[in-house]
Structure 1
């Protein structure tokens, strides 16, 4: 599993101009089973994506297709981790 932390490099008006395309991209990744959860940071300086992927090498091309990446609107920090304890409602994440 991977945590992707996006940090905006531009003002919110530029982010908003690409938000519909970004949401479409996110939905495509959910439909393909790659993304688990996503949302805005508070305060609104970027976002977080939880993703499943076999490896960083298979994840990076998926993230490169994000309109925020294509238009150089955000920096991406990727952290890989293996969940070892979860609440009952998240047991399906063990071994991801």
Structure 2
């Protein structure tokens, strides 16, 4: 049994800060609360900051691109307009045994 629901895709979400990091810092804790909730709801598979710290990357599951975008529209980085998001969808053809 796969952890990826039938008919869903995986999305690589590339997050780019659009303001200086000093303006990101006050939004980090609310963003991390959103991230924790996304893990609790089973949406995120992995996530983290880019190196260097210019944004982040999220690997998430969703039934459609529209659903992924709608879900992330509640992220404080989006609501506070401090980052831009780009999405790449894919259906895995090879998966590590731990993800099956």
Instruction: Provide the TM-score with structure 2 as the length reference.
Output: 0.86
Pick from 26, 50, 63: which aligns with 2:35?
Answer: 26
Q: Which runs of 5+ in 1 are unaligned?
A: none
Pick from 86, 97, 100: which aligns with 1:88?
Answer: 97
Distance, in Å, in 2 between the alignment partners of 1:71 and 1:85 is 37
Pick from 42, 46, 58: which aligns with 1:49?
Answer: 58
Distance, in Å, in 1 between the alignment partners of 2:18 and 2:43 is 25
Report the equivalent of 2:13: 4
Distance, in Å, in 2 between the alignment partners of 1:52 and 1:46 is 20
The alignment of Structure 1 onto Structure 2 pairs a total of residues equal to: 91
Instruction: Provide the TM-score with structure 1 as the length reference.
Output: 0.89
Distance, in Å, in 2 between the alignment partners of 1:10 and 1:40 is 15
Supply the RMSD in Å over aligned alpha carbons: 1.0
Report the equivalent of 2:85: 76
The Cα shift of 1:88 comes to 3.1
